[in-house]
Amino acid sequence: MAKQVKTVWYCTNCGADSPKWQGKCPACGQWNTLVEERVTASGNSRQRNSAPQSAPTPISQIKAEGEQRINMPSQELNRVLGGGLVTGSMVLIGGEPGIGKSTLVLQNILAIKSRKILYCSGEESASQIKMRADRIGRLSDNCLIVCETSLENILEHVKQLKPELIVIDSIQTIASDEIESAAGSVSQVRECAAQLLRCAKTTNTPVILIGHINKEGSIAGPKVLEHIVDAVLQFEGDRHYMYRILRSIKNRFGSTSELGIYEMIQRGLREVTNPSELLLSRTSDQHLSGTAIGVTLEGIRPFLIEAQALVSTAAYGTPQRSVTGFDAKRMNMLLAVLEKRVGFKLIQKDVFLNIAGGLKVNDPALDLAVICSILSSNVDIAVPQEVCMTGEVGLSGEIRPVTRIEQRVMEAEKLGFETIIIPRGNLKGFDTSKLKIKLVEVAKVEEAFRTLFA
């Protein structure tokens, strides 16, 4: 029977379909997200009345078996994945163009010498991939490159080669012949991901998908793509800086609070095992005002970061507020606290704030370091280099307790700091007898200022 062609409107946010266009998606409530696509349906499709092959089992009789994992060469990637790549799983890696997604995947699979790997590229030619491999400096005959955008051809290659790991670069360039819409559309991304997931589960072969992101910063395609895969990793960072951060947004086989840090160099990505030493510039000959060291957390990983501030007289009528790597609204709130609660007049002064290293920090425990760096620049008195701090600042000027204070204190001690300023009452249940670092507890912003600038 001839195939019937019909038009369906798909939501790019949630993947729901509608028979006609609507301004608002009836499923997720987003506006202007419905796109038109042509789909084919077979006219003789019938429901099969076959008995189900699986039987319900009581949960007490189910055996809890551990997952078999593939140890990836990058320990940072292993940490974010939860201990390695689970066999039969599907992992989606997203990031901005040029951030290093393909480089991250390629340098890892080229270092695996004992497994047959199929790398399917729909964006680059084989010669371009070879040039990247030469730049990384690793070549492996176990890595097979195929430039293909047809899903059926990719599955045929998988059937013939029987690889132990499959890489798809990228999922938005793969298209199935059964769907008439263009590659990258909602129906194509959803169908191709579902077919690859079926292949991964039936053959117990892990699949790594590389995906694009849209202008809002989220992974392109329908949200159902993130629901299909087992893990979603976000590779982020500023292309003008050398540091990259690998975050876990979703992980069925591990924690989503882990974090991996890389440094982009000429030969690819280098793992940063101790980011605190690279993010700090503790030089004795450049001991200037406007710099304070704060202890922050990214996921469950503590490291010390440098907050730099510059306060000067406003050159124009309206004072400027410029922020890099920190929330601008939160800095304005901290400036209001300094003005109202502490008594420093900054309303007619320009304030510039920068988080060193090009990182974006959202941890409220960096508040104390931010206001100390601003005050240091305002009074032109340098903060002692052997002092670091952590604490959240409230609207009444109080220093509020922060989470995981033990990890923050031990990280500061490991890097050689002599004194750390912490919120009062934040050390309950923490044995400090073996610590060599001096702990200074403060309850108000004024106490922290007296400790630093007495």
Query: Which residues does residue 38 pair with via DSSP β-bridges, in sequence order?
Result: 7
Which residue pairs, CB below 8 angstroms and at least 24 apart, start in 319-323?
Answer: 319/347, 319/348, 319/349, 319/350, 319/351, 320/350, 320/351, 320/352, 321/350, 321/351, 322/350, 322/351, 322/352, 322/353, 323/352, 323/353, 323/354
Structure tokens at 258: 């882990």
User: Identity (one letter) of the amino acid at 400?
Assistant: R
278-453 matches 68-273 in CATH topology: no
Of 128, 123, 122, residue with least CA distance to 151:
122
Quote the pLDDT of residue 5.
67
Longest CA pairwise span in the chain (Å): 88
| Distance from C-alpha of 255 to C-alpha of 233, rounded to nearest angstrom | 12
The architecture in CATH of the region 68-273 reads 3-Layer(aba) Sandwich (3.40)
Supply the pLDDT for residue 22.
Answer: 87
Closest to 69 in 3D by CA, of 57, 77, 61, 58:
77
**What is the CATH class of 278-453?**
alpha beta
pLDDT at res. 12:
76
Strand order, beta sheet including 349-355: 321-324, 349-355, 301-313, 291-298, 387-389, 419-423, 438-442
* pLDDT at residue number 47: 44
Q: What is the mean pLDDT of each run of 10 residues along the chain (454 residues)?
A: 69 80 86 77 46 78 83 93 93 90 94 93 92 87 93 95 94 88 84 94 95 73 82 84 86 88 89 79 67 89 92 85 94 93 87 87 94 93 93 94 93 92 90 90 93 85
- N- to C-terminal Cα distance for the chain? 88
pTM: 0.76
Residue ranges per structural domain of the chain: 3-42, 68-273, 278-453
Q: What's the pLDDT at 120?
A: 96
Cα 31 to chain centroid, rounded: 27
Q: Which residues contact 336 (CB under 8 A, 6 or more apart)?
A: none
Beta strands in 277-385 (DSSP E): 291-298, 301-313, 321-324, 349-355
Taking the C-alpha atoms of residue 417 and residue 409, their distance in angstroms, rounded to an integer, is: 10
- pLDDT (0 to 100) of residue 111: 92
Which residue type is seen at 341? R
Residue 230 has a pLDDT of 94
